[in-house]
Chain A
Amino acid sequence: MTTKTGEDSPQASASQLDQPSVKPPPPPESPAALQTRFRVITAFWAVIIFLGFPIWWKTTSIYRASLPIEEMVDWADGKACRPVFPLEIHLATPSMQSLEAQNLLRTTQHTLDDLNEFAAHHLRLKLTDGSTAAHNGEESAEGLKYLAEDTADTALTVRLLPQEGLAAPRSELHAATTQLDIFYPPNQVPVPSSSNSPLSAFIAAELQRLYSEEKATIAYILSGNTAGLDSTSPQLAEEIDRRLRRSMKYAETYHLSFSLFTPGSEPSSWDIEAAVNEYVSPLLQAFSPISNFTVDTQVQLYANFAPTAPKPEYDETEAAWTLKKEGLSAFVNAAEWPLNPSIGSGPTINFILYVPDPSQSPLIVKENRASSWIVPQWGGVFLLNPPLSHTDNQGGPSNPAHLSQDSLRPAFMTFSHQLLTLLGTPSTPASLPLRLQTSIRIRAASLLLSASSTMGSLARLTESLPSIPIPATVATSVATTLSHLSSSCAHLREGRFGAALASARVAETEAERSFFEKSMVGQVYFPDEHKVAVYLPLLGPIGVPLVVGLLKELKRIAARRKAKGAAS
């Protein structure tokens, strides 16, 4: 104001410049006015702090259910549970005195414990009389009943049978049951006083041998895919590593898809129904306690190789067309061949039966003359070279129009084998029920670990991203996972592996569900710059007077305090 009038006339401004010293300053404000101003400012700030701020906080905050972070991290670090695998082995001694049997049991157990170097996996011998043992063996062979029972699963029944005319004990494993027969010369029964005997040493060594691969595999899984046991041979370690890398992730349901591919128009039909019933169904039946399976089949004609795939070359010495080993990965023409996964939950395992064109028959793999290979975690391929017929008068030899069940036999035998490998079944021992039991334990161990590590990842994720919401469903899922993990761990400790697998399965499903919860990732992105740009016209003009008013008031109060202090 003053400057403006000053601009109008220099004299006036000069006179005004002198004036302030002349004019008296206004009287100090009345305490009532000061108090009113104080109240006004307090009221405004009270509304902002007690109404505005909570509303803003409430409406912009994200719901984060509380998670048991520590417990989750404990599971991931392996502190919450140390999985152990006590295997119960029944010793049936139908033709031995009770005392002798007790003694044999004790010494064998002793030898076993001495031999064992991996504490988490140990064998517990138990004495049964012969009749029940045989019964148990049959039962487990039939249906692998593993559902939660109070007693531990019987892993193996050892039957000791005396046989005349033997120099040393001899063992025989039943391929279709969980029974191991050991024939021994009757004179080798240990006397009660001795602490060691050839027979007990033999039994212990035999059991150790049966479970060595399983032990190595579990050790490998538990140690985090790095080092297994010290005693594991490098070949075995490599074998285990290869198998675990090839095998599919565990799922409740697998879809098996058998496809016949051929580059020409023939063969266009196959006896697939009979072949599946004959060669695949029994195996799936045996696997039914572990997983469910669906089977579908298709015939695809005019299935060419991808243009980028290496072409088969004719090998004079072999008199056959050959594919190079390194080119096998491009064999399946994923872009053109209709190999889309089946609908429904669970992974699809593809088995491809490829019948080469008559002009490129027979077709084999160059390096090892093999006609089949496994595509890790995907499926298997089999090259079928059917006998060519020369009946056609024109155009040279041709493939048969129809593939009979017999001609499919080698292919489906290979597919069964590939299926076992893809499902992670170990290659030893020879008995299929034993291998399936082993596979239950391996699956339980790996599921337990994978669910635990998912929990750990979820805990880390929620801690590192404070802006993602955590819905209540995630908290529920986490609670379910943790409870099933601990029950699975308890089942393992008591030797109920089937029940442990069932719990671990639930834990894994729930863990995956909580980790992949959609509402956690789908957050609306409103960058802060955007909000500021929109609301600055509002917040700026309102905020500046409020803050300046507050500062002035604070200054006044401080000055008054000082004055008061000086006065007193």
Chain B
Amino acid sequence: MTVLSLFSFPFVALILSLWSSSAFASSDYHEHLLLHPLPQSSLLASFNFRSNTSQQSFDQQHFRYLPRALGQILQHAHTKELHLRFTTGRWDAESWGPRPWNGSKEGGTGVELWAWIDAPGNEEAFAKWITLTQSLSGLFCASLNFVDSTRTTRPVVSFEPAGDHSAADQLHLLHGTLPGEVVCTENLTPFLKLLPCKGKAGISSLFDGHKLFDAAWQSMSVDIQPVCSADGECVVQIEQTVDMVLDIDRSKRSRSNPIPRPVPNEQLVCDTSKTYNSDDTCYPLEKTNDKAWSLTEIFGRSLSGVCPLTDFDGSSDQSVCLRVPHERGVFISEEAEEIKKEDGFTRCFKLAPSVPFDLSIPQQPVNTEVPLDEPVLHAERTIVGHGQERGGMRIIFGNPSNTSAVDFIYFESLPWFLRPYIHTLHATITGHDGVLREVPASEIVKETYYRPAIDRERGTQLELALSVPAASTVTLTYDFEKAILRYTEYPPDANRGFNVAPAVIRIVDTAHDAPIYIRSTSLLLQLPTPDFSMPYNVIILTSTVIALAFGTIFNILVRRIVTLDEAAALGAQTLKGRILGKFVAIRDRLRGKDTKVE
């Protein structure tokens, strides 16, 4: 125990000192960009903007760094802590390694929002939550106003407040997702407006909607939370991040001519040892060179100076960092200054104010690579089953570690029209030996928090505390039933399917200070979809049958029944009968003539 505490103390102290230095830097505004080339010619660009406002001026509505629109929304909705995420694409954990910020700054595909709201009761909290979503919807041009009671959950163990809240607040955590929301430029523009330098100076000048939303994966986040120092002085901190993984080749294509072209023959590197290698047949070799790129090529524009609100002393002036091995050659603009860090892979740049900055990396053979950590957990979630009524969910967790088990919380919120049967929850384990074993779910699942759905009112909320043993893969499955919706509840594109929000996995790891978050991909659920002209057909068919039956009965009741002869006699007397009789007579005469001619 003592050994452990002695060992862990320096680490905690380091984390604490890092934290305090970042949270209470001399400047109230701080921005940072990290460029990190990833395997498969990808580039991770991770932007971070952080600013503080004192609690007092926040309460008095004197806004300087904190955007006024956002601040007023928070005050109006009594929101103490807010987390908003806009994400598109998929993080390829197998080739890119662990997620940036340990996944804490990303959301599931679409829009994800969670907030701690100060309210005396659950209903008041929900009313404020609706106010919050409506206001944010207007501010960010997103469909957040569609986060209604069916899309709102109250997770118990999956999230914990990151800020320092006073004990007097009665905080309620509400969480909402919009997995079908398409994140696009109209969300980036309001996001940029929230920044003090508005994309005109500093690293935010690199943002271009065309490049950002062309990325293989991108995530924008807004976090607002109160942060208090030890002496009780509190600030409201807003942190905005944009993370994106760009494909270098794709980004370098010019906007005017974006069609990819095959590599010219003379530039192909062929494996000449293959027997079939000839002038017209080539087996391309694994790439031996890192791609050449520069900021202007990748982002379409250069970085225009620094945002003057950041202070120029200490570490915060090194606002751009690059993670490549030190022997890699990097060309930078003249006025900038390069500082290499001791870890051998990071270098940061001190930019000159109000002078454009560019950075270019020439093509160079790969000798050393920046080591990528192995993700702590692999997770995969799919819908299985067939038919219109029954379906199933399959979640696969893989623990790559050979030594330690992974404990985590698995959280999913399901729409009400997907009705899970929790009693069908089964677990199978594939160990080191590759043998599949069926185990009771209780062996894997430590705790369950489950709130069943109510039709059209709320969705299912399921939180499982799981543990996956070392070097094994756990597969969880459960069955569900697909509900049939009412005619008007189907969206216009009903046959596309319904989005099911991604699951959130929170790994409680003792080695890390903050929890690690992983989100699965979102799912598409096919519901039984009716033929939408059906109601009209039914109405018309039913009406016809009723009319037929009614007409027959009514006629029998009111008609007079006579013999055939009598009918003829009656018929001849009426106007109709007489006209008919004459008509027949004329026809007969005509026919008689015809026969005479013959």
Give me the interface of A with B, judged by CB distance under 8 Å. 1-3, 6, 10, 13-14, 16-17, 19-20, 23-26, 29, 33, 37, 40-41, 44, 257, 265-266, 268-269, 272-273, 294-299, 301-302, 336, 338, 340, 342-344, 395, 534-535, 537-538, 540-542, 545-546, 549
11 pairs, CB–CB < 8 Å, chain A vs chain B: A23-B569, A26-B570, A265-B201, A296-B63, A297-B63, A298-B64, A298-B68, A344-B76, A535-B543, A538-B542, A538-B546
Q: B354 contacts which chain A residues (CB < 8 A)? A: 395
A417 to B119, CA, bound (A): 40
Is B197 touching A265 in the complex (CB atoms < 8 A)?
yes
| Residues of chain B from 176 to 228 with CB closer than 8 A to chain A in the complex | 193, 196-198, 200-201
Q: Which stretch of B389-397, B416-424, B503-511, B584-592 is in the interface?
A: B584-592
- Give the nearest-CB partner of B571 in chain A: A2
- Give the nearest-CB partner of A29 in chain B: B560
Contact A10 B61, CB 8 Å, known A26-B570, A541-B547 = no
Is B63 touching A298 in the complex (CB atoms < 8 A)?
yes
Residues of B within 8 A of A (CB-CB), count: 59
Is B584 touching A17 in the complex (CB atoms < 8 A)?
yes
Q: A545 contacts which chain B residues (CB < 8 A)? A: 550-551, 554-555, 558
Q: A343 contacts which chain B residues (CB < 8 A)? A: 72-73, 76, 135
Chain B, residues 522-558, CB within 8 Å of chain A (1/0): the string is 0000000000000010011011101110110011011
- Which of A26, A265, A340 gathers most chain B CB within 10 Å? A265
Q: B309 contacts which chain A residues (CB < 8 A)? A: 265, 268, 301
Q: B64 contacts which chain A residues (CB < 8 A)? A: 268-269, 298-299
- Give the nearest-CB partner of B193 in chain A: A338
Is B562 touching A266 in the complex (CB atoms < 8 A)?
no
B363 adjacent to chain A (CB < 8 Å):
no
A272 to B68, CA, bound (A): 14
Contact A541 B554, CB 8 Å, known A20-B572, A25-B569 = no
Contact A538 B69, CB 8 Å, known A17-B581, A301-B196 = no
Q: A37 contacts which chain B residues (CB < 8 A)? A: 557-558, 560
CB contact between B57 and one of A257, A273, A541 (< 8 Å): that residue: A273
- Give the nearest-CB partner of B139 in chain A: A340
Is A549 touching B568 in the complex (CB atoms < 8 A)?
no
Known: A26-B563, A294-B61, A541-B544. 17 other contacts (CB 8 A): A2-B580, A3-B584, A19-B565, A26-B566, A40-B558, A265-B197, A266-B308, A273-B57, A298-B63, A302-B198, A338-B69, A338-B193, A343-B76, A537-B539, A537-B543, A541-B550, A541-B551
A218 to B570, CA, bound (A): 88
Is A10 touching B57 in the complex (CB atoms < 8 A)?
no
Q: A266 contacts which chain B residues (CB < 8 A)? A: 308
B156 adjacent to chain A (CB < 8 Å):
no
Chain B, residues 498-518, CB within 8 Å of chain A (1/0): the string is 000000000000000000000
A272 to B592, CA, bound (A): 114
Q: A19 contacts which chain B residues (CB < 8 A)? A: 565, 568
Q: B267 contacts which chain A residues (CB < 8 A)? A: none
A158 to B358, CA, bound (A): 77
Please give the distance in Å from A68's CB to the nearest CB on chain B.
35
Please give the distance in Å from A518's CB to the nearest CB on chain B.
15
- Give the nearest-CB partner of A302 in chain B: B200
- Give the nearest-CB partner of A538 in chain B: B543
B437 adjacent to chain A (CB < 8 Å):
no
- Which of B68, B354, B548 gathers most chain A CB within 10 Å? B68
CB contact between A1 and one of B61, B193, B308, B564 (< 8 Å): that residue: B564
Is A23 touching B67 in the complex (CB atoms < 8 A)?
no
| Residues of chain B from 323 to 358 with CB closer than 8 A to chain A in the complex | 354
Please give the distance in Å from B412's CB to the nearest CB on chain A.
33
B485 adjacent to chain A (CB < 8 Å):
no
